[in-house]
Structure 1
Amino acid sequence: MVLIGLLSIFLIIFLLFGSWVLWERNRDALVAIDLYSGKVELSYDASYDLSIKEFTERTYRHITLTTEYLGNIEAFISAPTIIPKEGLPVVIIMGGLEVGAETFRLIPDPGENIYVVFKYPYAPEYWKEGTPVVEIPVIRKSVLSVPSQVLSLQEWVSEQPWAEKERVTFAGFSLGAMFLPAVYHLAESRDVVLNPAVLAYAGADISDLLYTNMKKIDPLWRSSIAWLGETVIYGIEPARHLPYMNNEFLLINGTRDHQVSTYSWKKLHRLISQPKTIVILDEGHMHPRKPELTKKLVKISREWLGERGLIN
C-alpha cells in the first residue's frame, strides 16, 4: 500500500510538471511578457559625480520610476550640462546583469547625446542571499518583466523635455541584446514605433546559451538543466520574437566568443529579416575587463547610429 501511495504521488507530480512544461512552451510568447505597468511616476532623482576628467561638461543622475504593477524601474542618465530646448537624441543602453553608472566611462566622446542605462530588476547578490526554491520564481518574474519595464522607461524618456522624441533608440550588449527581440515584438503588438537598434553579442536559443555557460555542471545533466532553465523563462526566448522585428538592426558578434556559440548567433542572424547590418569581429565575448573591445563596440555602434541620423 505504501508503494502504491508513493507511485501515485510520483505520478501526480509528473503529470503536474508535464502540464506546466506543455503550457509554458506552447502559450503565445507575448502572453508571458505583456504586463501592464499602470501609473508610472518619478520617485527618486539624485545627481552624482562620476569624475570623468575627459568629459567635465556632463551631468549624471540615478533615477527610479515607481509603477503600479511592474515594480520599480531604475536607470542611470548621462547628459550634457546644456540641453537645447528641442532636446537631444537618447540612447537607452541595455548591458550585462551588473551594468550601472560605470558604463559611462566606456563611452569615448559621448557628444551632444543623452545616454540612459537600464538597471535590471534582479541583482546577482539576491541569489547568494536566498535559496534556489525561493529565488528561481523571483528570477522568472524579474526576467519576464524586463520587456514591459523597458518599454515603460522608453515611454517616460520620450516624454521628457530633454529628449528629442523622434531620436530615442536602443543599444543592447550581451545580456541586454538578448532581451531586445522581446522588447521590439512587444512594442509592435502595442503599436509603439521604435527606431533602429544595435544588438551586440546576442544569440538565440536560451538552452544552448545556458548549456554553453554552465561549464561546471556535468555534461550528463547539463542539457536537461539548460532545457529546464529555458522553459522557466521561455517567454523571452529570442527565436520566438525575432521574426516580428520589423525594423533595421546592427548585429555584432565575435568568432572567438565562448559564451555565445556560433550556432546561437548565426541562428539569431538568420531569423532577423532585412534590412540588417552584420559585423563579425575576430574577438571573444565582451566584458568590463576588456575596455578596449567595449570601446570598439561603442565606436562601431555610434557610427552606425550616426549614419542613420539617430545620434549627433
Structure 2
Amino acid sequence: MKVSLFAIAKVILLGLLSIFLILFLVFGSWVLWERNRDALAGIDFYSGKVELSHDIRYNLTLDEIPERTYRHIVLTTEYLGNIKAIISEPTVIPKEGIPVVIILGGLEVDADIFRLIHDPGENIYVIFKYPYTPEYWYEGTPIVEIPVIRKSMLNVPAQVVALHKWVSKQPWTEKGRVTFAGFSFGAMFLPAIYHLADSHDEVLNPGVIAYAGADISDLLYMNMDKIDSPWRSIAALLGETAIYSIEPVRHLPYMNNEFLLINGTRDDQVSRYSWEKLHRMVPQPKTVVILDEGHMHPRKPELTKKLVKISREWLRERGLIN
C-alpha cells in the first residue's frame, strides 16, 4: 500500500505539534507552580550540622586603617554545601566579645571592601561569599550552569541564616549585637533572609538595605540592555520565575524589624518604580535615605564610603555597633 507524501507530512506535523504541546504544558505547569507555591518552601533548607573546616589568616595592608586581623573561613554543612566568608577584626578582642556586622555585597565581593571601611572601630565585619561566582559560568556551559545558578541563589537565605547562627555563638561575638548590612545584589536577599529567620523564631536585629528594589523581573530587565525587546521582557520574566522564591515582594510584608533603606535617584540598574515599591512595602519602623547618586560600583569608592558612613551612624545610634 502506497503512502502519499501528504500523509507522511501530516503525521510528522501532528507529531511535532504534539511534542510542542507537551513541552508547552510542562513549561506552563512549572511557571504556575513556581509563581504560586509558598515562598518559604523554595528557600527553607535545613543546614544540618555546621562546623568550621577552614580558618586561614592572611595579610592585608590598608593605608589609613588601623591594624586588624583578616581571616578566610569555610563552614561545612550537612545539607547546604560550604559557607564561605571573610572576616575583619581588631587584633585584640575583649572576652565579652564585640559587635558583628554581616555584609552582603556584590556578586564578586572580596576583601577589597575593607578598604572602604576607613573607621572600622571595635567591631567585626563578616563578608558573606556567594556559593556561585561568574567564573563558573565562563568555564561551564549554560545547560549545566543555569540549574546550578538557580540552586545557589535559592540556597543563599538558608546559608546566611546558618552563618548568623554560627557567628552568634562565637566567643568573639558580643551577645545580641549581630546585624546585617546588604548592598546592591546582596540587599535583594535580605527580605527573604529576615522572613526565613522569623519563620524559625530567630530574632534578627535591625538591618541596612542599600540600593535594592522590590521586583526581580524589573531588575533583570534594567540590566539586560544587550537583549532586544520583546525577548528582553521574556528573559527577565523567566529569570524571575526561576528564583521567584527570593522575590523581595513576597517577603517584604513579613520583615518584622527596623530598617535603613538607601537608594539613589540616578540609579540606572534599580528603577525608581522598584525602589519606591520597596520603600512602600517595608513595614514601619524604617528610615529612608534617598541620595542624588547613581548605582554603587567599585569604580565609585567615594559613594561606597558615603553609604558605609550613613549605615554605620544609623547602626551606632541603635547601639548595634561600637
Deviation at 1:56, TM superposition (A): 4.0
Are 1:41 and 2:51 an aligned pair? yes
Are 1:31 and 2:31 an aligned pair? no
- Give me the whole-angstrom Cα distance separating, in 2, the residues matched to 1:140 and 1:57: 39
1:8 matched residue in structure 2? 18
1:195 matched residue in structure 2? 205
Deviation at 1:53, TM superposition (A): 3.2
2:64 to 43, 51, 54: 54
Q: Which amino acid aligns with 1:272?
A: V
TM-align CA RMSD: 0.6
2:99 to 67, 89, 99: 89
1:220 matched residue in structure 2? 230
2:162 matched residue in structure 1? 152
2:153 matched residue in structure 1? 143
- Give me the whole-angstrom Cα distance separating, in 2, the residues matched to 1:51 and 1:198: 27
- Give me the whole-angstrom Cα distance separating, in 2, the residues matched to 1:49 and 1:55: 14
- Give me the whole-angstrom Cα distance separating, in 2, the residues matched to 1:130 and 1:235: 25
What TM-score, normalized to structure 2?
Answer: 0.96
- Give me the whole-angstrom Cα distance separating, in 1, the residues matched to 2:256 and 2:162: 20
Aligned length: 312
1:282 matched residue in structure 2? 292
1:113 matched residue in structure 2? 123
Deviation at 1:161, TM superposition (A): 0.2
Greater Rg by CA: 2
- 3-state SS in 2 of match to 1:116: strand
Q: Tell me the alpha carbon deviations over residues 236-286 of structure 1, each in whole angstroms, 9 at most, x when there is no partner.
A: 000000000010000000000000000000010011010000000000000
Deviation at 1:108, TM superposition (A): 1.1
Where does structure 1 differ by over 2 angstroms across 4 or more consecutive aligned residues?
Answer: 53-57
1:299 matched residue in structure 2? 309
1:229 matched residue in structure 2? 239
Deviation at 1:6, TM superposition (A): 1.0
1:172 to 182, 187, 208: 182
What TM-score, normalized to structure 1?
Answer: 0.99
Q: Which amino acid aligns with 1:296?
A: K
2:268 matched residue in structure 1? 258
- Give me the whole-angstrom Cα distance separating, in 2, the residues matched to 1:213 and 1:132: 19
1:211 matched residue in structure 2? 221
Q: Tell me the alpha carbon deviations over residues 188-238 of structure 1, each in whole angstroms, 9 at most, x when there is no partner.
A: 000000000000000011100000010010022111110000000000000
2:5 matched residue in structure 1? none
- Give me the whole-angstrom Cα distance separating, in 2, the residues matched to 1:308 and 1:62: 29
- 3-state SS in 2 of match to 1:192: coil
